[in-house]
Structure 1
Amino acid sequence: MGTTNENVLTAAQQAALAEAITRAEAGTAGEIQVVVSSRPLIDHPFYALMWAAVIALVLPWPVALLLQVDVPELLALQASVFILLGSLLAFTPLRHFCVPRAVLRAAARGTAVDHFLSLGIHQTEGRTGVLIFVALPDHRVEVVADDTIHARVGPSAWTDVCTRVLTGAREGRLAEGLEDAIAEAGRLLARHAPPDTHKDELPNRIVVL
């Protein structure tokens, strides 16, 4: 059964977060967008089966060196290890540990940038758009800031924004964590991109995938 938007954030929570964005943007020329995805970033079974295959190829050889095992028995042992280990890694929570951290980080960043571009956040007049992207299954949060904001704020300034989302999600308070993160993003933007006369260019809504 698929995950619906209501399972991630209720309609009331989404409305409250949209209002939080409006409040945060009131004190800045920046634009804030939020995307929450319940879709895995990575094909976990691929990595699970890859590790199972590697271990199945290597593990039986010490057995063959210590015991008198002929080739058919060795091949049968390899097949058994692959099937058992592959099932264990692919169909249990262990699958999340099969994906290398660097691969997961790159996937999260790449997906966040894709959403940043597809939502047109890079097209604001002052290049002051900011995206908070949350990948729930993989426990990743990425902030993508457009050129003007990135040059003024720098990448490390968004760490607290990400932490607020992750803390809320771990404690079962995703909506509250997002609201805290939006408020913090608004405070950062207010310091580095004070309000001007330009209109609100992006819709103040939460995108739930």
Structure 2
Amino acid sequence: MKTIAIDKAVEMIPDGASVMIGGFMGIGTPQALMDELVRQQKRNLTVIGNDTSVPGNGIGKLVSGGVVGKAIVSHIGLNPETQAKMNAGEIEVELVPQGTLIERIRAAGFGLGGILTPTGVGTVVEEGKRKLEVDGRQYLVEPPLPADFALVEAFLSDYYGNLTYALTARNFNPVMAMAAATVIVDAAHVVPVGMISPDNVVTPAVLVDYLIAHN
């Protein structure tokens, strides 16, 4: 794990990259990294997250800033800007049932070839997808969902990059840290090694590539 300035971290993310972003309606989303993506005018990113939050918060900042080319989310949040841009064809939105979304991400992180889920069977969700029958029940075959980068917010990090999360901000962050090629973490507090009990480590340092260094 390396410490890195926030501008240098975001410079590594090229236009057109796929980026997982932790959080649920902005809770657990690394807000400073959102601001920096907008400041650097990144474009055409495929953003993978639970939702697009609201204008001015979390992924909503990226929508307002013209950063998002495609969003893979379980819902658009309470964001009229996403709706307007989706209807105008300015943003592609792929809606994935929430449980299916996180399980596809988990599958990528654990090296699985996909998941079987009954969610969406008999609905428009199954269009164009493989189905399998197991013990008389139909399942959709959903592929793993990896990404080039994961942007993660943690509550605590030690100097090695072991992470813990605060309450519901834990949401998507630990699973996304498993599934991306490069993991960039913004932690609210950085503490000496040994301050985080091994039993309390949720994301081990081996998964973290870069930790944002704040002055």
Q: Give the TM-score taking structure 1 as reference length.
A: 0.23
Structure of higher CA gyration radius: 1
Higher relative contact order, chain-length normalized (CA < 8 Å, sep 6+): 1
Q: Give the TM-score taking structure 2 as reference length.
A: 0.22
